[in-house]
Amino acid sequence: MHTSSGRVLVVGGTGRTGRHVVSLLRATGVPLRLLVRDRARAEAELGPGLELVVGDALDLDLGPAFAGVDAVVSTLGSRDVHGGLRTVDLPATTRLVAAARDAGVARFVLCSTIGAVPTPGIPPHMLEWFAPKGEAEAVLRASGVPFTIIRPGGLHEGPTADPRMIDCGHVARALVAALTRDDALGATFELSNARLQRPDADPLLGARV
């Protein structure tokens, strides 16, 4: 892993996908900082020795968390499709993007979702649920911060053959790869087992949309 200052900030590192991201980045030796809501839980789940900034992305002064940060991976999510995506995911991501812009971050890798924008095969009620994820993507695209967006299908802990789903570990590998791949800059990818079957799909990042 090489970035200009090197330090990567992970938001959502205590989550299902974020834990894999943290583990992958740790193995590279890159300087790592995590924004977590609960220090004791983060240390219990991720182990000791990580640089932690403790607070909620909805109201923390994010300046110190972003100081000296070169790249960001956000797997932040509320898990609550009945309102939480609008009251948590969208405003928290908006704050993270503003902080990244102010800090001059060189790459913001955002984990979104398939269905964040109208997509064939996704029922209308789910498109309604996921719309705030699309709005958060739009905030990032408009910010001027160099970005990559990965939209996973349904997340699964471990391998699965379900075409609509994808292993969290695979998503984490894609998010980490997107930090440094030039061909991912400014791009959005959809990542599910079905998307990976598309003839033009990237085997790691999925289908470019």
Ligand X SMILES: NC(=O)c1ccc[n+]([C@@H]2O[C@H](COP(=O)([O-])OP(=O)(O)OC[C@H]3O[C@@H](n4cnc5c(N)ncnc54)[C@H](OP(=O)(O)O)[C@@H]3O)[C@@H](O)[C@H]2O)c1
What is the binding site for ligand X (CB under 6 A)? 11-18, 35, 37-38, 56-58, 75-79, 88, 92, 111, 113, 152, 154-155, 168
Nearer to ligand X by C-beta: 113 or 188? 113
Residue 49: CB minimum distance to ligand X, A: 18
Nearer to ligand X by C-beta: 35 or 182? 35
Nearer to ligand X by C-beta: 12 or 134? 12
Q: Given 3-state DSSP classes, what are the helix, strand and coil percentages for the chain, each rounded to the nearest 5?
A: 40, 20, 40
Q: Please give the C-alpha separations between residue 157 and each of 16, 148, 197, in angstroms, as whole numbers.
A: 8, 23, 20
Nearer to ligand X by C-beta: 106 or 165? 165
Q: How open is the CA angle 78-24-84, to the nearest 5 degrees?
A: 5
Q: Provide CB contacts within 8 A for 61, sequence distance 6+.
A: 55
* Largest separation between any pair of C-alpha atoms in the chain: 45
Nearer to ligand X by C-beta: 18 or 134? 18
Residue 176: CB minimum distance to ligand X, A: 14
Residue type, 196: L
Residue 199: CB minimum distance to ligand X, A: 23
32: nearest Cα among 75, 59, 77, 72: 72
Nearer to ligand X by C-beta: 90 or 105? 90
Question: Closest residue to ligand X, Cβ-based?
Answer: 15
Residue 182: CB minimum distance to ligand X, A: 24
* Other beta carbons less than 10 A from residue 90's beta carbon: 21
Residue 26: CB minimum distance to ligand X, A: 16
Residue 171: CB minimum distance to ligand X, A: 7
DSSP string, 12-27: STTSHHHHHHHHHHHH
46: nearest Cα among 72, 65, 20, 27: 20
